[in-house]
Structure 1
């Protein structure tokens, strides 16, 4: 199965999510946070660097719980204010 290439908007969204998770992680090690969330350190690294811009919901939910970040905050970081994209309009409807 061939994966459809990500759009620039999808790549930017993944980078914003990764940056937010890195800030929330703070001084804690990637290994410590990943283990507490039940994901591999490699998965967390890919999400934080934007290489996995569309992580599974349950992965994001587990990371949010461990980091003390709300899913609402993560969702807001993933939808830029003035993109004009149909995806943003669909999410806010």
Structure 2
């Protein structure tokens, strides 16, 4: 479980709690190393992914129907309790 405030970015929250989210491009949507899978019951609460995000997800391993880039998710009160999991192929080359 991770603690966050409204406005926090999911990538940064995940990194702060030790999740293996590399985030190589630092949220510039130039990679897919922050790929996460959102629990289906939470997925519909998120804003739709942009075309650019969808393109990056096409390059990610183990993509699921509810995959998103964590760098593109800014947390809100409506997302309190959201369940997120890492794809099985996740590996943080930066050693977090």
Would you call these one fold, judging by a TM-score over 0.5? no
| TM value normalised by structure 1 | 0.31
Q: Please tell me whether Structure 1 or Structure 2 has the larger radius of gyration of its CA atoms.
A: 1
TM-score, normalised on structure 2?
0.30
Higher strand share: 2
Q: Which structure is higher in RCO with an 8 Å CA cutoff and minimum separation 6?
A: 2
Q: Pick the structure with more helix per residue.
A: 1
